Amino acid sequence: MNQLDFKLERALRIPQLRDAGPLHTILSDPDGNIYYTDPVQSALTAVGCDGKTLWRKETRGFGTGQLWYPTGIGFGLIECNNSFLRCLGVADS
């Protein structure tokens, strides 16, 4: 069996926001910001490279802009006025 070696790049304490559930997907962007989903709280959170919360989306429901058990997230591009904007896509149930 092959053993994988991993190097810890950095440690970051995630801010305690309510009773956080287990984190599902964790991403980082080129600026060092961290994005993660908390399906139990139906939340999506962005944390700056300094460990401070940049924003948190926590609106449980099935309507537009609401989340219900978000799991996967990923970066992408959308075209707007002949240019591309970076976006964050969310896989929600």
Question: For residue range 3-58, what is the model confidence (pLDDT) as tens digits?
Answer: 777 777 767 676 666 666 778 899 999 898 999 999 988 999 999 988 889 999 98
Residue 74 predicted with pLDDT over 70: yes
How high is the pLDDT of residue 33? 93
In a domain, 7, yes or no: no
Mean local confidence (pLDDT), 51-79: 91
In a domain, 60, yes or no: yes
* Tokens describing residue 87: 């976006």
In a domain, 61, yes or no: yes
In a domain, 33, yes or no: yes
Q: What is the biggest distance separating any 2 CA atoms in the chain, rounded to whole angstroms? A: 52
Residue 70 predicted with pLDDT over 80: yes
Count of structural domains within the chain: 1
Q: Which candidate, 66, 76, 84, places its Cα nearest to that of 29?
A: 76
The pTM score is: 0.76
Q: Which candidate, 34, 29, 37, 27, places its Cα nearest to that of 71?
A: 37
In a domain, 1, yes or no: no
In a domain, 9, yes or no: no
How high is the pLDDT of residue 59? 87
- Residues spanned by the domain of 67: 26-92
